[in-house]
Amino acid sequence: MLHHANRRALQAAQRLIAKVAIAAVALSSAFTGFTAAEGAQGPFTDISGSYAGKEIEALAQAGIISGYEEGRFFPGQPITRAELAKILVLATGRTESPNPPAAFGDVAPDSWYRGYVAALVEASITEGTSAATFSPDALVTREELAVLFIRAMGLSEKADRLAADAPFTDLQQVADWAKPSVALAHKLGFISGIENGDGSIRFAPKEYAQRQALALLAYSCWTRQAEFAAKAEELLNPALAPSPSPDSASGGKQTDNNPLAQAFRVIKAEAFDRNTVVVTLDKNIADPAYVKSFSFADGLEVTGTAVKTGTPTVVLTTGQQTPEALYRLYYDEGNTFIDVTGTPDFLPAADGDLTGIFKLTQADTVYGPLTDPIVINGSLYIDAPRVKLRKVKVTGSLIITEKVDSEAVYLEDVQVDGETLVLGSGRGGLHLTDTSLASLVVNNPGETVDIVAEKGVRVQQTTLFSSAVVKQILTREPAPVFEKVTISAETPTQSYVSLQGRFETVDVHAPVFLQFPEGSIGTLNDNVSLTHAKAMPLLEKAVISNGSITLGFSQKPETLTIADFAIDAKLGGKPFNTEDWTYDAKTGVIGFPALPADSAELLEVWIKAKNDAFGGHLRLLLSGFSGRVVDVNGHPAEGIRITFRRKTEKPVDGAAPSGEAVTDKNGVYAIRLAAGAYTGELKGESFLPAFMEASAEAGSYNRDQDASVLPAAQDNEVRIVLSWGIEPRDLDAHFIGASKMGSNFHTWYKERFNWGSAFREVELDVDDTTAFGPETTIIRKPADGHYLFYVHQYSGTGPLGSLATVKVYQGSQTDPAQTYAMPLIPSSKPYWVVFKMTVKDGGISFTPMNEFTDSDPVNTVGQLGNSTELRSGSYSINDGTKRIEKVPQGTTVEAFKQALTTADPAARYELYGPDGSTVRTGIVENSDIVVVTGSNGISRRQFEIRIEAVSPSSPGPAAGIAGLYASPDHSVTNAVYSQPIGPGVNTENAPFHIPSSANYLLIQFNQELAASSEGLQVYANGSLVSADSVRLLPERLLALNVAGLPLDQDTVIRISGLKKATGNIPVDPFTVYISIP
């Protein structure tokens, strides 16, 4: 039996242990340091607004990345080749080389980067910018960065063997030598691109890479290199890909000696039921093998560990926990620990009696049978508001917890043989009907609790430790309902007690305000000097926010001023001045100076009356939390308004929320709220409404209450929103269907995005692992075909029944077009197939399925008939550009068709002329159209044919620069300054000087060159030069008009998009260094 006195001792022990743990963490943090090769280390003063702030800090802690003087990092500055050399070496687990770096004359023997450059050369990752130069101060473009990381991870060969395609709108601007690496980097999820605003993305290959972008890639490489290597192998050999069924078990060989293994810190651990603890780590898990062991110090055994890859969540299966008991959880053989409070089991669906300790967690729910009563041989916790418990006998204790908040709880035809302990509830009240309680204990110092006896009620002993209204409905029950009432000596002075009805005996052991509005008392034992408050206003409730406390009285006080209040306050455990606090009698609001929203100190407030001005005594806690809101690309979401409400509170029109916060330019918000659990509704211009959960702790300030938002839906989009209850805690949204790339896609927590030719076709916003959701699937411009949406119960606890709801929104509408609710009868089968969606000629229809199954429906994707995938061993099929290339000139239609097959044998295709309707016969022509139709008769895709007229020529000699000239016009003969090109000539340290009398820079190549299909492009210090200022001339010349260009004294000119004039062979970009006095 859980006794109230034992509970208070337990709370005191919890507070003591929490203080010891906080002190230990602070002490260990003070002695944490690191050493880097050069520069100043983190924390940095200028990364709060960086989208890679956390990654920069982690890399700095590991000594992989460094900053500058005065603790600055300069996240937006471009990176140099020397900086990149160091980070490439360390992020891939390599070390500095003691050898000199080849014959690079521009790498000084005493330079800090010498050993890193040498390591890259020895690993064949780079050969320098020439045989004699490395160009350490040269800036690095985005495409160069991708190439070097792919090389450093040993994936260049795989990149060359895969199709060089990626959904970037500017893919043609990527140099041919970089395309394979850029394409593979995107397929691996190593790079994502830049949003264009319409759902499409670009890569911006010629732009210089920023230091924060380098940090993001380096962190991914450092923590996920093994994952990238495995995925690259899967791309080459699809048969090696793992089954799409969610894998959860952690295991495999230890990774203690693996320099790429992730290191984790436990930031949160909560008991979910009596045999489950949910652990939250400080980062997403790349590989289950990186997660170390867990153990408890208190005899509680860890019997299983489930890891959800791609999330920070680990689920531990434990032995039987004792509710309210404290357990110390150790991670990685005791390197870190966190305390966990034991919790009961969920009350299962049962027709007969139960044995154990259980909890009720679903608000607005009726628990108990319809007909014959059941017996719970044990104890029961009510953890949710507005719960009705009926036809149940509890042989142990019934505990109404603080999670009920101020809401009502209903007991109907209930018998409790042990103690009924009321820690939550408030003016909502505990309502009793046909109920028998052996012992009722009220202990809620934060609010007056109503106990209402309707009919057929008998309470043998009632003990009050806080303010209460104990009420018997006289017209229904003439006999005394509450046989003995005791006001404990531990009840705070000036607490308010109202007794309404017929009572046999009342024992008073504390000087409270006692009121008898109606009814009678057989015997009153006044052991103190009672104050009888027959007409006294009762302070029933108070709601605290940052800067104000709103009071609720049983009746309006005649006249109150701040002088009528006895207010004590502590901030961070220290006395807090209340002399300048105010009271507005009209609104009933106490005002005080607002605290900084991001302050981590807890404010405790005690309110009672002076001079018997009113009755009641309340304790309030003002805590708070902060976090960061980002979009799907991890970029800060500015201007998001978050409306917070108590988790137990339903949004009601006109009802004021608990508080609001708005994100700043860094996506950061902070708010001060009373201790408790909250839900937040996020709204912002150009973003979809979203929801989050947050917690204001009574003993600490949470700084990690983060959230994400999705871009607002377009008119042709479909959104599928899955939400659910607390049990089971982890449901996963799965969506399969027709891809615009011709095959089927499957979005789920492991593959949250499906890419079209140049945009995300489908995306899953988040993977919620701790109950409620929502998880939102967005479909942009759905292709014709069939789709299937289903739900998987990942958590594996209890049946698949959680009040789950799926709502479908079309376009920008705010009301769902379709709503699907999980059947009320829970299923033991783990998959719920919700609906089938069909898209045809732009129209969308839905077919309800509402079926449960044991097997993963992804295995039936082939039955949708969506596949329009085309294959050929003779021609090049580019799904991104929808072209069939390298078709020899003169190919007959019959030979052409024989060289094509469909991935789905039941699919069909036809060859048409360029108009797409005239069937082609005879010889295949350029721009002919191939139309592929899926076996469902709905999915269609077409390809354009490209005829290969001329075989490629041999590469011939490498293209290069023969000389540079500064001239007032286009003529070399009029040049006022010239410079031949040779070893060591034209570097960052030896630029080409352009006199003020020269208007043109003339670059003479060693052979005839022409603009390639991607187009000639010239960049000056990363900025694209207007095409009007660039011209290709005879005599192998390129003329650049430098007059009027925004050039610095030292300027880097980069030229790309050239090919050899004969043979159609692309050439690598050229770099020229110039100086203008």
> What are the pLDDT digits (tens) for 413-453?
999 999 999 987 777 889 999 999 999 999 988 788 999 99
How many whole angstroms from its chain centre is CA 909? 42
Instruction: Select, from the ranges 116-120, 754-758, 879-883, 980-984, the one with the highest average predicted confidence (pLDDT).
Output: 116-120
Q: How far apart are CA 93 and CA 88, in angstroms?
A: 9
Tally of CB atoms within 10 A around 527 = 12
pLDDT value for 1052: 86
- In this predicted structure, the answer to whether residue 387 has a pLDDT above a threshold of 80 is yes
Q: Are 7 and 324 in contact (CB under 8 A)?
A: yes
* Two domains, one topology: 713-859 and 961-1075: no
Q: Is 15's pLDDT higher than 70?
A: no
CA distance 438 to 4: 15
β-strand pairing of 387-394 with 374-382: parallel
The pair of three-digit structure tokens given for residue 1021, joined into one six-digit string: 């210090």
Percent of the chain with pLDDT over 70: 83
Looking at domain 713-859, its CATH architecture is Sandwich (2.60)
Tell me the CATH architecture of domain 961-1075: Sandwich (2.60)
Mean local confidence (pLDDT), 716-744: 78
Q: Which residue is listed with tokens 């659910």? A: 724
Q: Is the pLDDT of residue 632 over 80?
A: no
Give residue-wise pLDDT tens across range 848-858: 988 888 888 98
Inter-residue contact 813 to 785 (CB < 8 Å)? no
Torsion on CA atoms 397, 403, 408, 410, rounded to nearest 10: -30
CA atoms within 13 A on the CB side of 771: 18
Q: Does residue 351 carry a pLDDT above 70?
A: no
- DSSP β-bridge partners for residue 894: none
**Where does 870-948 sit in CATH, by number?**
2.60.40
> Which position has the token pair 């207007």?
1026
Closest CA to 167 of 657, 761, 1012, 962: 761
State pTM to two decimals: 0.46
Q: Determine the pLDDT at residue 39.
A: 36
- Return the amino acid letter for 607: I
Domain spans of the chain, in order of start = 1-32, 53-240, 266-341, 346-366+385-532, 713-859, 870-948, 961-1075
Tell me the C-alpha distance between 1060 and 1067, whole Å. 7
| CA 127 to the chain's CA centroid | 40
Tell me what the pLDDT averaged over the chain comes to.
Answer: 79
- Reported confidence tier of residue 476, pLDDT bands at 50, 70, 90: low
What is the 8-class DSSP label of residue 742? Answer: S
pLDDT tens digits for range 201-227: 888 888 888 888 888 899 888 888 888
> Alpha carbon 148 to chain centroid distance?
29
* Count of alpha carbons within 13 angstroms of residue 1011, beta-carbon side: 13
CATH hierarchy code of domain 266-341: 2.60.40.1220
Burial of 234 per CB tally in 10 Å (0-12, 13-18, 19+): middle
Burial 799-831 (b: 16+ CB within 10 A, else e): bbbbbbbbbbbbeeeeebebebebeeebbeebb
580 has a pLDDT exceeding 90: yes
Using CA atoms, how far apart are residues 442 and 424, in angstroms rounded to an integer? 9
How much of the chain is helix, strand and coil, in % rounded to 5?
A: 15, 40, 50
Q: What percent of the chain is predicted at pLDDT more than 90?
A: 15
Residue 995: band (very low, low, confident or very high) from pLDDT cuts 50, 70, 90: confident
